[in-house]
Chain A
């Protein structure tokens, strides 16, 4: 009977081998899939049990994990939640949603490969893994000025350091309180989250870098002027038609000035004067002269069409591809289908401010490991050379004049030379226009470039709208940056 017993032992070996295979499949081969299942409570608890890194503005955490007594171990808390909501996003049962929470989830949670050595040492020491801290580029004072300035009005405000691309402020209104959706009571969180997603004012959308995008209106004339000066056919002193309207080819509808009044009594204006008073017929003419390609190329040099990650994804701004003559003239004054993010318009101002060089915008200054070692530091990088330094100087001069004696007088600051451009973007008949203002200061040595939009805030047909509503917000942001 020994032979069958030996064969039986082979069968036993096969049975155990099958178990080793099945165990390997579950615990190694398909483990990641099983762990990634949305109904996997262990994964949820494990991610919560990890001390997530902080998000800092200056030295102050605007998102942090505080220990709790419940089974989730840590609660994500957002001090000044609404002020930084679109920067932080939130961390909830839905995972990391929006903002830096989502974009830098791997680092904050500690799962990133950049924290590899740290994780290996955690493995052997049995220390609970901890996420890295994200230090933002934001300037708390500028952020607050932007938010206070917008108040209850929907809109967005962005400020960047033109020399580096560091984002100093990013505000989108209406905002929300991330704490409402970061709690540990699933029912409450779910109710709050549903309310936020269904809110018609769409508070979850970060209008500064995404959403439906805005028409830039006359603020786009800076780009048109840049294209004109760069083409070599124009100087700031070039004479342009400055009547109440501009006849356009292919159509009987002329391009009217914003207030239907001539830009100057003589009926002609210089390019510089045209920017100062935001003369539509003059810029329509410039557009027709330089052509759609030149306009599009100039816009692209300022960053239009680029997909940026700051690290959140920025929706690319765009100038339409096919333009006939009337559409080109409309586009040259920032109407028709030109669509921009407030961040893009801040980059336009920053490009002019930085001697024509557009820096790549970024929101993360540095990443700090839980042992306080610096894992990453931002390196300012050039995105493009939008205009030559000479053209940048000419544009600066024109924008300074706009604030000194043109449509942007509300942005004046005593003792500081502010360069700016207003915009009043119409978006549909019978609706109030969006008020725009882009600016940088101090003009001779800029340290801040801003773009502000207030939705539906200006009476259509009045270029003072942008100046009246948006310029004061930009001014207070600049003042906050310059400590005034």
Chain B
């Protein structure tokens, strides 16, 4: 017998704790920096805010130790840092706009953050295994599409800033697209893991590309029509691109078939072009995108132009937190929070923030690679890619890579629905990653054959 002693696999929780302290430290430093730059004194309630933020993140950390010991150690610190920096910037815009703390956007965002963290921990408690979600595939699908199209309903649907992506119930307004993103990712994962064989194997080869059978085109056509109606009726290119891109990407991952990407991109480009030819509001968006500084465009909206000038004012190293004028741009604390960071932290600071997002997506994709079940793989890949795509749509929109849309930057932009949805997304990712990184039980305990298939899901 060989002497092989199994080393206890590292959970990474200590790494996470250290990184988490660093993240909270950076946020605290940014807050101090802001206070010194704007009023020359330490910000009010520094200790209370700092300790509070630290306590909330440590609570999450403890929950992870307890409920998801092997979860990816980088995800929580990254999200904590992004959320905190977002809070500081929102507070910074509050100061510039002359809003007191009590009626500022930052305080609301802080409360939403706390609520989002609470919900995320609740998800970790309630969702013991991500494969449970597969049971709700169709419910999630129906709910997702319903939420996506909800803003089109009369009375509760609400247009803001040219996009009809809000619902309003009394004093509460909500952007259902963010939650729809989660539900649809779960639906796509559940649906595709069931149908992937049919979608991936059947078909004919034409020009080196294996094309699917006509009857298998149904789902992608439905997704296409849904995303087109979002584009046309909700006037929201960002959500449209996000959902369709998410679907096509997950379809590709499930089937490993490049033809789906070709079909998907073809459909999207054709649909978008058709919409451009037909609808005036799409043409306006394109005008603002391609000719931002033309007199006609500036007459319609100088929002994008102002954001760009803000970023240019920041230059390479930025003005420093509290020393720029991000408040000169509309929506500087929500849709345009990225230009706000670009102005005050500069190109270098924005690079760092983008790198954080890229790292977060990378951890998600790595989770997908490490997961042993197909549903988990698809779900992790879908959730991660949706985050990447959302970053691309938002940052690409304000930096003129694509037309500007009404999406929010995950974790940073002011907005409760976005925070709730994205923290929940993180909780699910953490749950999957815990599953992915958890060491496989020893061979003695389970039969070596098909361990993955016989693993028992223990229900509470």
Q: Which residues of A are at the interface with B, using a C-beta cutoff of 8 A?
A: 1-6, 8-9, 11-13, 15-16, 18-20, 22-28, 30-35, 37, 39-43, 45-46, 123, 126
- Chain B nearest CB from A32 CB (Å) reads 8
Give the segment of B121-129, B230-238, B353-361 that binds chain A. B353-361
- Chain A nearest CB from B269 CB (Å) reads 16
Residue of B nearest to A26 (CB): B311
Is the pair A8, B252 in contact by a Cβ cutoff of 8 Å?
yes
Question: Considering residues A2, A3, A19, A40, which has the most beta carbons from chain B within 10 angstroms of its beta carbon?
Answer: A19
Give the segment of B48-56, B60-68, B383-391, B437-445 that binds chain A. B383-391
- Chain A nearest CB from B369 CB (Å) reads 5
Question: Considering residues B302, B312, B358, B362, which has the most beta carbons from chain A within 10 angstroms of its beta carbon?
Answer: B312
Cβ < 8 Å to A, chain B residues 236-255: 249, 252-254
Is the pair A27, B401 in contact by a Cβ cutoff of 8 Å?
no
CA–CA, A317 to B135, complex, Å?
A: 93
Q: Which residues of A have CB within 8 Å of B350?
A: 23, 27
Is the pair A27, B316 in contact by a Cβ cutoff of 8 Å?
yes
Q: Which residues of B have CB within 8 Å of A13?
A: 358
| Contact sample, A vs B, 27 pairs, CB 8 Å cutoff | A4-B252, A4-B256, A5-B253, A8-B253, A8-B381, A8-B385, A9-B365, A12-B365, A12-B384, A12-B388, A15-B391, A15-B396, A16-B392, A18-B401, A19-B354, A19-B399, A26-B308, A26-B311, A27-B314, A27-B316, A28-B315, A28-B347, A30-B312, A35-B309, A39-B298, A39-B302, A126-B320
Q: Do A19 and B401 contact each other (CB < 8 Å), given the known contacts A8-B381, A37-B309, A42-B310?
A: yes
Residue of A nearest to B254 (CB): A1
Is the pair B368, A37 in contact by a Cβ cutoff of 8 Å?
no
Q: B342 an interface residue at 8 Å Cβ cutoff?
A: yes
Is the pair A19, B309 in contact by a Cβ cutoff of 8 Å?
no
CA–CA, A8 to B377, complex, Å?
A: 13
Is the pair A23, B399 in contact by a Cβ cutoff of 8 Å?
yes
Which of A1, A12, A23, A40 interacts with B351 by CB under 8 Å?
A23
Which of A5, A27, A35 interacts with B381 by CB under 8 Å?
A5
Q: Which residues of A have CB within 8 Å of B254?
A: 1
Q: Which residues of B have CB within 8 Å of A45?
A: 325
Cβ < 8 Å to A, chain B residues 92-119: none
Is the pair B365, A8 in contact by a Cβ cutoff of 8 Å?
yes
- Chain A nearest CB from B373 CB (Å) reads 10
Which of B313, B357, B368, B395 interacts with A43 by CB under 8 Å?
B313
Is the pair A42, B313 in contact by a Cβ cutoff of 8 Å?
yes
Residue of B nearest to A41 (CB): B328
- Chain B nearest CB from A5 CB (Å) reads 5
**Nearest 4 interchain pairs by C-beta:** A34-B312, A22-B399, A27-B347, A31-B312
Which of A3, A35, A40, A126 interacts with B256 by CB under 8 Å?
A3
Q: Which residues of B have CB within 8 Å of A16?
A: 354, 357-358, 388, 391-392
Is the pair A27, B256 in contact by a Cβ cutoff of 8 Å?
no
Residue of A nearest to B370 (CB): A2
Q: Which residues of B have CB within 8 Å of A30?
A: 312
Q: B293 an interface residue at 8 Å Cβ cutoff?
A: yes
Cβ < 8 Å to A, chain B residues 160-217: none
Q: Do A18 and B377 contact each other (CB < 8 Å), given the known contacts A24-B347, A27-B315, A27-B346?
A: no
Interface residues of B, count at CB 8 A: 51
- Chain B nearest CB from A147 CB (Å) reads 42
Q: B271 an interface residue at 8 Å Cβ cutoff?
A: no
| Secondary structure type dominating chain A contacts | helix
Q: Which residues of B have CB within 8 Å of A25?
A: 399
Query: With contacts defined as CB atoms under 8 Å apart, how many contacts are there between chain A and chain B in the complex?
Result: 133
Further contacts, 11 of them, CB under 8 A, given A1-B254, A5-B369: A1-B256, A4-B252, A12-B384, A15-B389, A23-B311, A23-B342, A26-B399, A27-B314, A34-B313, A37-B309, A43-B313
Is the pair B400, A22 in contact by a Cβ cutoff of 8 Å?
yes
CA–CA, A11 to B265, complex, Å?
A: 14
Is the pair B378, A22 in contact by a Cβ cutoff of 8 Å?
no
Q: B374 an interface residue at 8 Å Cβ cutoff?
A: yes
CB 8 Å contact bits of B267-287 with A (1 = contact, 0 = none): 000000000000000000000
Which of A6, A19, A31, A126 interacts with B395 by CB under 8 Å?
A19
Q: Which residues of B have CB within 8 Å of A15?
A: 388-389, 391-392, 396
Q: Which residues of A have CB within 8 Å of B396?
A: 15, 18-19, 22
Q: Which residues of A have CB within 8 Å of B384?
A: 12
Is the pair A9, B315 in contact by a Cβ cutoff of 8 Å?
no
Is the pair A1, B253 in contact by a Cβ cutoff of 8 Å?
yes
CA–CA, A41 to B378, complex, Å?
A: 48
Is the pair A22, B357 in contact by a Cβ cutoff of 8 Å?
no
CA–CA, A4 to B381, complex, Å?
A: 10
CA–CA, A31 to B350, complex, Å?
A: 15
Is the pair A12, B358 in contact by a Cβ cutoff of 8 Å?
yes
- Chain B nearest CB from A98 CB (Å) reads 28
Residue of B nearest to A2 (CB): B369
Which of B309, B320, B357, B378 interacts with A34 by CB under 8 Å?
B309
Q: Do A4 and B253 contact each other (CB < 8 Å), given the known contacts A15-B388, A23-B399, A31-B315?
A: yes
Q: Which residues of B have CB within 8 Å of A35?
A: 309, 312-313
Q: Which residues of A have CB within 8 Å of B305?
A: 39
Q: Which residues of A have CB within 8 Å of B391?
A: 15-16, 19
Q: Do A27 and B354 contact each other (CB < 8 Å), given the known contacts A8-B253, A8-B365, A19-B391?
A: no
Which of A4, A28, A42, A123 interacts with B309 by CB under 8 Å?
A42
Q: Which residues of B have CB within 8 Å of A26?
A: 308, 311-312, 342, 399-400
Q: Which residues of A have CB within 8 Å of B395?
A: 19, 22-23
CA–CA, A481 to B309, complex, Å?
A: 52
Q: Do A6 and B369 contact each other (CB < 8 Å), given the known contacts A26-B311, A37-B293, A42-B325?
A: yes
Residue of A nearest to B355 (CB): A16
- Chain B nearest CB from A229 CB (Å) reads 62
- Chain B nearest CB from A46 CB (Å) reads 7
CA–CA, A476 to B168, complex, Å?
A: 81
Is the pair B374, A1 in contact by a Cβ cutoff of 8 Å?
yes
CA–CA, A313 to B379, complex, Å?
A: 71
Q: Do A12 and B385 contact each other (CB < 8 Å), given the known contacts A20-B351, A20-B354, A37-B293?
A: yes
CA–CA, A46 to B381, complex, Å?
A: 45
CB 8 Å contact bits of B15-47 with A (1 = contact, 0 = none): 000000000000000000000000000000000
- Chain B nearest CB from A121 CB (Å) reads 15
- Chain A nearest CB from B27 CB (Å) reads 20
- Chain A nearest CB from B130 CB (Å) reads 16
Q: Which residues of B have CB within 8 Å of A126?
A: 320
CA–CA, A12 to B361, complex, Å?
A: 8
Which of B298, B313, B358, B401 interacts with A22 by CB under 8 Å?
B401
CA–CA, A126 to B381, complex, Å?
A: 44
Q: Do A27 and B312 contact each other (CB < 8 Å), given the known contacts A4-B252, A15-B392, A19-B354?
A: yes
CA–CA, A85 to B17, complex, Å?
A: 66
Q: Which residues of A have CB within 8 Å of B400?
A: 22, 26
CB 8 Å contact bits of B391-405 with A (1 = contact, 0 = none): 110011001110000
Cβ < 8 Å to A, chain B residues 414-433: none
CA–CA, A18 to B392, complex, Å?
A: 9
Q: Which residues of A have CB within 8 Å of B302?
A: 39
- Chain A nearest CB from B433 CB (Å) reads 14
Residue of A nearest to B385 (CB): A8
Q: Which residues of A have CB within 8 Å of B392?
A: 15-16, 18-19
Q: Which residues of A have CB within 8 Å of B368?
A: 5
CA–CA, A409 to B315, complex, Å?
A: 65
Q: Which residues of A have CB within 8 Å of B256?
A: 1, 3-4
Residue of B nearest to A13 (CB): B358
Residue of A nearest to B314 (CB): A27
Is the pair A27, B342 in contact by a Cβ cutoff of 8 Å?
yes
CA–CA, A26 to B401, complex, Å?
A: 11
CA–CA, A140 to B316, complex, Å?
A: 45
- Chain B nearest CB from A300 CB (Å) reads 48
